[in-house]
Structure 1
C-alpha cells in the first residue's frame, strides 16, 4: 500500500510540474516569441503591400542616379533615379519615433555591412482633428525627400534636433499644392498599408520593418523592442551580435524584477501610431490599433 509520504509527493508533483511548465512557456513567450515577426500569407495582401512599397518614394544610401540620353540626335541628357539590385529592408518611420531611431542606429550598419539595402519611408503624422501632429518644417522636408530622394538630406534631418531644424533652402510644402499632395501621399501610404497588415494580425507600431526572407516570403515586424532585431538578421542570413542578442533575450520583464529595475524597451520611449494617444500601449502584445 502506498505510504502517505509518497502519496503527498505524488500530489505535489501533479501541481508543481504543470506550474513549472506553464511558467517556462510564459517566460519563453514573454521574452522571445511575442517579438517574432509575422509572415504575410494571403496572396492578395502580399501583392497589395508589395505594390505600395514599389510606389513609395523611399530614401536609401544605395539609390543611384543614372544619366540617360533622351535621343541619339538630341544631345539632351536626363538624370533619373533607379534602384540597385540588392536585397532590401524597408523601415517606415515618422520624425519623432525614438524606437525607429534606435533601430537605425543599431541595425542599419549591420544590415548595410551584410549587403542589404536599407530603405526608409518617412511619413507625416496625420492631424488629430484641428491639432497638427507635424510641423511645417517636417512636412516640407518629407515632401522634398519623397520628390528628390536625397539620403544625405535624410541623414541631416534625422541628426538635427527637431527644434533646430529650419528646413532651409527647401520649398514650403504648405504653400505649394503639389508638395502638399506629396505630404498627403505619405499619410495615404500608411492609411492603405495598415488594414493590409491588420489582416495578418500585425499590430501597427513603429518602426514597421518589412523585408523578404530567403524563401521570398514577405515578413513584417513592429520592432518597438530590440528583442525583435535578431529575427530580421536571421531571416537575411546575417551574423548576430552574440553579446547584444543574449543580453536582450535574457532581459527580465519588470513584473518579476525587484522594484526600480529597468523595464524592457517595448514599454519605454514608445512612439504612438498616427492618430492615437501617446499614453496607449502599442507594444507587441497590445491590441491592434485603429490606424
Structure 2
C-alpha cells in the first residue's frame, strides 16, 4: 500500500509538471502572439482611426491600419514583407505615423521627423512618405518642408499625433493588449475588430490567416507573347540577334553557307604574286619612283 501511494504521488507530480510545461509552452510560443478581439471600445477606436490623417497607396478594399513611428524597424519590415501580401488579398493598408514625445528629458524624435510628420498629417502625401521611408534616417533633412518646431500650427499637429497614439494605447490596454509597434488594427471577415502589437514577426501569420492573404507572392512568369527578358538586367529584347557569318576553319576549307545566303568564294590555295616594284624615272634634276 505504501508503494502505491508513493507511485501515485510521483505520477501526480510528473503530470503536474507536464501540464505546467505545456501551458507555458502554449503561452510562450503561440498565445502571446495572437491578436485580441476588441469588445468594449470598438466605436471609440473606430472614430479615432477615421479622424486621424492616415495615408495610403490607394486601391480600395477593406482597410487595415498600421500605426507606428519612423525608427521602428519592425514596422518597416512589415511594410516591405507583408503589405504586398495584403494587397493581393484586396486589403488597403492605411498608415498612421506619429513623432514620439520626449522621455525622461531625452528626445525620441528629430526636428526633421517632426516636420515630416506634421506635413504628412496636413497633406496626406503618399509620395512624400515613400521618399521619407526610402531615405536613411541620418540622411533625411526634410528639405523644403516647413519646420514644426516654433510653428504653433504645425507643432499642434505633431502634438495631435501623440495624443492620438496615447489615447489609442489606453483604449487597447483596456482590452488586454500591451501596446508595441507597429500596432495593427483591422476587421476580420465577420466584422469583428482585432488588434495586434506586431513587433514580432510570429504575430503576422494570424493577420494573414484572418484576411485570407497568401503566405508568399510568387514572381510572375513571362506570359506567352510578352517580349523576352534578359536574365539579371531586366531589359527587354527589342531586336533579334544578328546573323553572323561562320568563322572559317583553320585548315582553310570553306564553311557551309547559311540558308538563304550566297556562297562565299573560297580563298585561293596559293597567295598571289607580289606586284613589281616601280622603276625609277630620271627627270632633269630629280629622280621619281
Deviation at residue 224 of structure 1 after TM alignment: 1.4
2:51 maps to: 55
Establish whether residue 46 from structure 1 lines up as the match of residue 42 from structure 2: yes
Q: 1:122 aligns with which of 91, 94, 97?
A: 97
Question: Which residue is equivalent to 2:16?
Answer: 18
What is the deviation of 1:109?
Answer: 1.5
- C-alpha separation between the residues in 1 aligned to 2:5 and 2:156? 76
Q: Deviation of residue 178 (structure 1)?
A: 1.8
Structure 1: 5+ residue stretches without partners: 63-83, 242-291
Say if 2:210 is the partner of 1:235: yes
Map Cα deviations across residues 124-146 of structure 1 (whole Å, 9 max, x no partner): 11123653321111011111111
Q: Which has the higher helix share?
A: 1
Query: Counterpart in 1 of 2:169?
Result: 194
Counterpart of 1:182 in structure 2 is: 157
Q: 1:211-290 alignment to 2 at 5 Å?
A: 211-240=186-215
Q: What stretches of structure 2 of length at least 5 have no aligned partner?
A: 217-289
Structure-2 separation of matches of 1:93 and 1:183: 14
Higher relative contact order (CA 8 A, sep 6+): 1
Q: Which has the larger radius of gyration?
A: 2
Say whether 1:96 aligns with 2:47. no
Residue aligned with 1:90, SS: strand
CA contact (8 A) 2:99 2:162 kept: yes
Residues paired across the two proteins, number = 216
Q: CA deviation at 1:190?
A: 1.1
Give SS of 2:82's match. helix
- SS state at 2:45 partner: helix
TM-score norm. by structure 1 comes to 0.69
CA-CA distance at 1:186 after TM superposition: 0.9
CA drift at 1:40: 1.0
TM-score normalised by length of structure 2: 0.69
2:88–2:213 CA contact under 8 A, matched in 1: no
